[in-house]
Amino acid sequence: MKVFLNSEFMSRDEARISPDDRGFLFSDGAYEVIRSINGKLFRPEEHFSRLERSLRELRISGIEIESLKQIPEKLIAYNDLTDGDATVYIQITRGEAPRKHAFPDRRTAPTIYACASVFCPIREKFQKGVKIILVPDTRWSRCDIKSVALLPNILANQQAKESGAEEAVFVRNGTVTEGTHTNFCAVYGGELLTHPLSNRILGGITRNVVLDICREQNIPFREFPVFEGELRAAEEMMIVGTTTDVMPVVEVDGRRVKDGKPGPITRKLMEAFQKMVYRSR
Ligand code: PDD
């Protein structure tokens, strides 16, 4: 397996990152996950501009975003992933420096790491839908930054896994924010609702595409909070993200959503989204 580290492609076994790297010591970094289908990246420009924004917000400088843009396609090619689904992971940290909280010397170079892996969507989950659990949103107030500091997400997703659910969805002050690695949408009276862009959620690329599909297909939607107390009344629910596509949610904390089957709006969005993603096939 070939990976990219700092300025070169190399075998994964040769890749070495210092124990003084601030990504390791402080989770001081940002990342992106980009989908690839038959060697073609899905919405790479959006992912790179979000990465640029995350780095700017974290004040990690010294990265020329343009120079990173050829890395994913090369990784896909070098790892023979040009047939079928794959994901590319890119992480940038503030670099290697003695452990002090404040930023290191300005000359410290950020660490750039990228790798590609096979991705296998599980068809049954799209057909039958998945279960979610609700968990308190214990995260910081800058969830709009795609930071590698993901402990609350990890703990919550593990809790979901241990209770046989696909995803844990966060609730803050009675408002459903998003999942551990997905955005959340619910349907009321035929209208799709999803949390507005704010510091409380990551502005998901898939979420954007879903809203574009709603516009194209005249599906009513509103970027408006979904309240925990009103979840029981939801007609449909879905989680959306780079590694989930549009996935129907059919059970929340052991309670069925409507008849426990993916609803019509979810199916419409799921089909349109998959068509868009797999257009190159
Ligand atoms: N996660 N919300 C959170 C907290 C996320 O981590 C993600 C993506 C999303 C969906 O964003 P997008 O549609 O741009 O993938 C929403 C990636 C896939 C991950 O952490 O693996």
> What's the Cα-to-Cα distance from 47 to each of 33, 54, 64, 142, rounded to whole Å?
8, 10, 15, 18
Q: Is the minimum distance from the CB of 182 to ligand 1 under 6 angstroms?
A: yes
Q: How far apart are CA 202 and CA 270, in angstroms?
A: 21
Closest to 114 in 3D by CA, of 98, 97, 93, 96: 93
| Residue range 239-269, pLDDT digits in tens | 999 999 999 999 999 999 999 999 999 999 9
| Residue range 93-114, pLDDT digits in tens | 999 999 999 999 999 999 999 9
Residue 155 has pLDDT above 80, yes or no: yes
Mean pLDDT in the chain?
A: 97
pTM assigned to the model: 0.97
Q: 180 alpha carbon to ligand 1 midpoint, in Å?
A: 8
Give the atom of ligand 1 at the shortest distance from the alpha carbon of 183. Answer: 16
Q: Is the minimum distance from the CB of 181 to ligand 1 under 6 angstroms?
A: yes
- What proportion of the chain, given as a percentage, has pLDDT over 90? 98
Q: Using CB atoms within 10 A of its CB, is residue 66 exposed (0-12), middle (13-18) or buried (19+)? A: exposed
- Name the band, by pLDDT with cuts 50, 70 and 90, for residue 279: confident
- What proportion of the chain, given as a percentage, has pLDDT over 70? 99
Average pLDDT over residues 136-158: 98
Q: Whose CA is nearest to atom 16 of ligand 1?
A: 182
Q: 204 alpha carbon to ligand 1 midpoint, in Å?
A: 6
Residue 71 has pLDDT above 80, yes or no: yes
- Name the band, by pLDDT with cuts 50, 70 and 90, for residue 280: low
Report CA 92 to chain centroid distance, whole Å: 16
Side chain identity, residue 219: I
Q: 105 alpha carbon to ligand 1 midpoint, in Å?
A: 31
Residue 201 confidence (pLDDT): 98
Q: How far apart are CA 240 and CA 246, in angstroms?
A: 5
Q: How far apart are CA 201 and CA 33, in angstroms?
A: 16
Average pLDDT over residues 5-28: 98
